[in-house]
Structure 1
Amino acid sequence: MKKVSIVILNWNGAAMLHRFLPTVVDHSADIAEIVVADNASSDNSIEILKSEFPEVRIIVLDRNYGFAGGYNHALEQVSTPYYMLLNSDVEVGENWLGPLIDFMDAHPEAAACQPKLLAEHTRDHFEYAGASGGYIDRYGYPYCRGRVFETVEKDEGQYDDIVEVLWATGACLMIRRDDFWRVGGFDERFFAHNEEIDLCWRLFNLGRRIFCVPQCHVYHVGGGTLPKGNPMKTFLNFRNNLTMLYKNLPEKDLRHVMRMRFWLDYVAAFKSLLLDRNWGEFRAVIRGRKAYKAWRADFADDRRNIQASRVVRNDSSVADLLPRASYSILWQYYVKGNRMYKYLRKAK
């Protein structure tokens, strides 16, 4: 029995499957089961899979469950010890899985890990979605080693060390089957965006650890389903990010962080309206906040359970940025001009 299943969630991604799935098959079929879970596509994805990739297992879902729900429904049907969640727009190379499997085998404390993500179109630069491992600042804004807001760094080997991170990107995420289901998988209510950060944070709260293993690297296109700047993407990001904070923040931090986010989110909304003249983005931020407020009570039990099961860690090896940085990334980026991760590490 193979140890790893590579599970690719697809929704109307026939072009991406045709382009990138051959690299996965060529460099993985000997050591991993390859699965494509189709989120009720209306294009010819299934036909392409059946005709061009007979070695790939197909799971057909009855409707589009989004990223979170789609993976949950698909992974219920996968039994290998390790899941490798892989976006359909990722190109992999020879022996790409080896370093990740070796690391997970050698580190039972690790629930999940990611490789280094580079941009498929500019291969010497990091890719926005995950770069070389993710963190969040004190107010819940995510950033990565190699990507802070819109600033994406050139990869010069500066983040090639294996480090513990708060979150690993869902674009290429290796996770233990037992850990995935220990926390109930992704929160399907999120549909898409921030679900992997929420998952990793919940695991961290249980004392499990997340790593970036840059000895493996892949190339990611990114933004295939909802491109950056799409109002729906903005809506989901704001709604889900606030919900994630409500679920996972310790009691001592919750009120202060949510009060600050109220003001920071409205500053972002009015910047979109007054400076960028982007009415769609303005409305998306406001809608995201209203949607969070409307469904917050639905997550009260989740919050109580997460806080009740939280493990207090006194491990000196844990990076001082975990689980949240002590600073505001907005202040560092826009006021102090610290736009790269290496400068944030020195921030106070």
Structure 2
Amino acid sequence: MHPTQGKEIAVIVLNWNGRALLEQFLPSWIEHTPDCAELIIVDNGSTDDSVAFLQSHYPEVATLCFQENYGYAEGYNHAIQALDYPIVVLLNSDASLSAGWLDEPLRLLGEHSDVVAIQPTIRAYHEPSRYEYAGAAGGYIDAFGYPFCRGRIFDTLEYDEGQYATPVEIFWASGACLIVRRSAYLEVGGLDRDFFAHQEEIDLSWRLNARGYRILHAPSSIVYHVGGGTLSAESPRKVFLNFRNNLLMLYKNLPAPRLYHVLLWRVFLDTLASLVYLLSLRPRHALAVLRAWRGFLVTRGEYEAVRGENLRRTTTPPSPAILKPYSLLWHYYILRQRTYSQLP
């Protein structure tokens, strides 16, 4: 597909066997996609009647159909490579839009040439005044690689009461709704297809930061997200992917000797996490942490060339303002600081 004349933005929804989600959320996407943007449903080799549903009920909506399921990361990579729009929006199929959600992001991109990605405020679809787990008001990671957000630290979710109402620089933007300049996305290699799911947007954001680009949170842009559509929070598979992908991300992006210092601490901290799962009678989750480390050690060698390229192309190491220098575990569990505003 080529851009419709006058359209500078592609709002891309990746669909795989999501007929029910299309029925539920497509009216919101159509209603709130502005004239300057094109809504495009990318079907990732669905085997249900998603495509037939679109053709019969929404023939005016642009579609791009793949013959096979490329997965989340590679599906978006293929779509963004094929769709030549200056700005692309990666929108989850379980997200609902609101009026004017693109206004502030487009203004921020227009005002700052070094800003290449924007995250809206992500609120919970079923509890609209509360931040949603996958992104909240923009993400950071701590000194040992644990991700968290303004508005969400571990399982503590704040209500949006205007406490994060100013646009600020963030370390990572949520994949639930990621607004990004296509040229920068392609320049850094897009999403890592081998992550399968979880933390691939943090890894992408790290590469963008390292090349000297900036990522901002746009507080007045509101998107509502259901979350947990791929794997539930109670899934051992989700635990495995989160821990393994996090370790791979650190290996890909952290320079030595900092990498080895962090990994040494992570052996201790992740072993502790496994013991906590075991003591809380969740042996499959405990095993998933150990399997994640095994997966990391087995896979690490395949990333040596990627790691070398990332370190060579790093022009701007992330500042302490966005890659935090403290331990989130210490502040959350020992000092009982449960909200972002309480942290250093």
Task: Calculate the TM-score normalised by the size of structure 1.
Answer: 0.95
SS of corresponding position for 1:95: coil
1:1-348 equivalences in 2 (<5 Å)? 1-28=6-33, 30-274=35-279, 276-312=280-316, 320-322=320-322, 324-344=323-343, 346=344
Provide the C-alpha distance between the structure 2 equivalents of 1:29 and 1:256, rounded to a whole number of angstroms. 48
Amino acid at match of 1:236: L
Amino acid at match of 1:35: I
Q: CA deviation at 1:159?
A: 0.5
Task: Give me the CA root mean square deviation.
Answer: 1.3
SS of corresponding position for 1:123: strand
Give yes or no for contact 1:65–1:191 (8 Å, CA) kept in 2: no
Amino acid at match of 2:321: L
For structure 2, the 5+ residue unaligned runs are 1-5
Provide the C-alpha distance between the structure 1 equivalents of 2:278 and 2:194, rounded to a whole number of angstroms. 29
Q: CA deviation at 1:61?
A: 2.0
Deviations 1:291-315 (CA, angstroms, capped at 9, x unpaired): 11001010001111111111136xx
Give yes or no for contact 1:164–1:319 (8 Å, CA) kept in 2: no
Provide the C-alpha distance between the structure 2 equivalents of 1:242 and 1:234, rounded to a whole number of angstroms. 12
SS of corresponding position for 1:115: strand
| Paired residues, number | 339
Give yes or no for contact 2:209–2:316 (8 Å, CA) kept in 1: no
Task: Calculate the TM-score normalised by the size of structure 2.
Answer: 0.96
Quick check: 17-26 or 54-63, which moved more? 54-63
Provide the C-alpha distance between the structure 2 equivalents of 1:221 and 1:6, rounded to a whole number of angstroms. 18
Provide the C-alpha distance between the structure 2 equivalents of 1:130 and 1:48, rounded to a whole number of angstroms. 30
For structure 1, the 5+ residue unaligned runs are none
Give yes or no for contact 1:124–1:154 (8 Å, CA) kept in 2: yes
Provide the C-alpha distance between the structure 2 equivalents of 1:321 and 1:335, rounded to a whole number of angstroms. 22
Give yes or no for contact 2:172–2:205 (8 Å, CA) kept in 1: yes
Deviations 1:52-73 (CA, angstroms, capped at 9, x unpaired): 2212222222322221111111
Provide the C-alpha distance between the structure 2 equivalents of 1:14 and 1:337, rounded to a whole number of angstroms. 43
Give yes or no for contact 1:11–1:41 (8 Å, CA) kept in 2: yes
Q: CA deviation at 1:319?
A: 6.4
Deviations 1:149-179 (CA, angstroms, capped at 9, x unpaired): 0000011000011000000000000000100
Give yes or no for contact 1:135–1:321 (8 Å, CA) kept in 2: no
Q: CA deviation at 1:222?
A: 0.6
Quick check: 230-239 or 79-88, which moved more? 230-239
Quick check: 175-184 or 95-104, which moved more? 95-104
Amino acid at match of 2:189: G
Deviations 1:172-220 (CA, angstroms, capped at 9, x unpaired): 0000010000011111111111110000101111111111011111111
Deviations 1:19-44 (CA, angstroms, capped at 9, x unpaired): 11111111215221111112222222
Amino acid at match of 1:333: Y
Provide the C-alpha distance between the structure 1 equivalents of 2:236 and 2:58, rounded to a whole number of angstroms. 35
Provide the C-alpha distance between the structure 2 equivalents of 1:331 and 1:162, rounded to a whole number of angstroms. 28
Amino acid at match of 1:206: R
Amino acid at match of 1:38: D
SS of corresponding position for 2:272: helix
Provide the C-alpha distance between the structure 1 equivalents of 2:149 and 2:160, rounded to a whole number of angstroms. 13
